[in-house]
A and B are shown apart, each in its own frame.
Chain A
Amino acid sequence: GAGVSQTPSNKVTEKGKYVELRCDPISGHTALYWYRQSLGQGPEFLIYFQGTGAADDSGLPNDRFFAVRPEGSVSTLKIQRTERGDSAVYLCASSLGTSGGGELFFGEGSRLTVL
C-alpha cells in the first residue's frame, strides 16, 4: 500500500480481555516499530523488528504484551488480560532499516480503550 496501515482504528474492550492490533507496513520496509502514545505524551518505544525477528523488545512493559512478524511484513501486537492502564494509541511505523537511523513512516494508530 501507499502508507502504513493499522487496524482497527478504534478498539473498545473490557478489562481482562485479549486484544490484537495489526500493522501493515510500507512494502519493502524491513524495519517495523511499535510505539504507545498516551494522552499528552510522546510516543513510547515498545518493540522493533528487523525482518521477522524482534531486534529489540526492551520497551514491552510486561509479559502481557507480545508482538510477532512471521513473514517479515505484517505485524500483530497482542495484549493479554488487558488493564485500564493499557488504554492509549498504539502507533506502528516502518522504515527502510538502513543503519544510523532514517525516516520513520507512521500509521494513524489504533486507539485502545479498556473499560
Chain B
Amino acid sequence: GEDVEQSLFLSVREGDSSVINCTYTDSSSTYLYWYKQEPGAGLQLLTYIFSNMDMKQDQRLTVLLNKKDKHLSLRIADTQTGDSAIYFCAENYGQNFVFGPGTRLSVLP
C-alpha cells in the first residue's frame, strides 16, 4: 500500500535553515504537498510541487523533488520561532491524499 515516511523531529536555531525530508511510494502521484499544523489548529497547505518539476521556490520555502528516489524535501530559509509546528508531507493517490507521520520542527532562540 501507499506509505509516506518522514523523520519525526527536527531542532534548529533561529535564523538557520531547516530541511525536512520525506520519502513516498506512489510514482504515479501527480502532486506532492507540504502541510503545516500549528498547535490546536487544522492542517494548512504550505506549498506543493507538480510531479514533473524538480524544484519550486516560494519566498523562504524551497521544495526539491527527486522522482527517481521518490524523495521530497522542504527547506525553510532563515527559520523563525513562528515556524515551529508539525510539517506533513503528502502525496495524492488518485483523488485520495496520503499523509506522512509529520516532522515536529522546534526553533530554538
Contact = CB atoms under 8 A, between A and B. Distances in A.
Contacts, number: 61
Contacts of A55: 95
Contacts of B44: 106
A96 B4 CA distance: 24
Interface residues of B, number: 25
A108 B31 contact: no
Size category of the A interface is 20 to 34
A48 B96 contact: yes
A103 B95 contact: no
Contacts of A100: 30-31, 92
A31 B95 contact: yes
B42 A106 contact: yes
A25 interface: no
Contacts of A107: 42
A48 B96 CA distance: 7
Contacts of B8: 40
A43 B92 contact: no
Contact of A104 (B97, B100, B101): B97
Interface of A: 4, 31, 33, 35, 40-45, 48, 50, 55-56, 91, 93, 97, 99-109
Given A93-B43, A103-B48, A109-B42, 6 more contacts: A35-B99, A41-B101, A42-B99, A43-B43, A50-B95, A104-B45
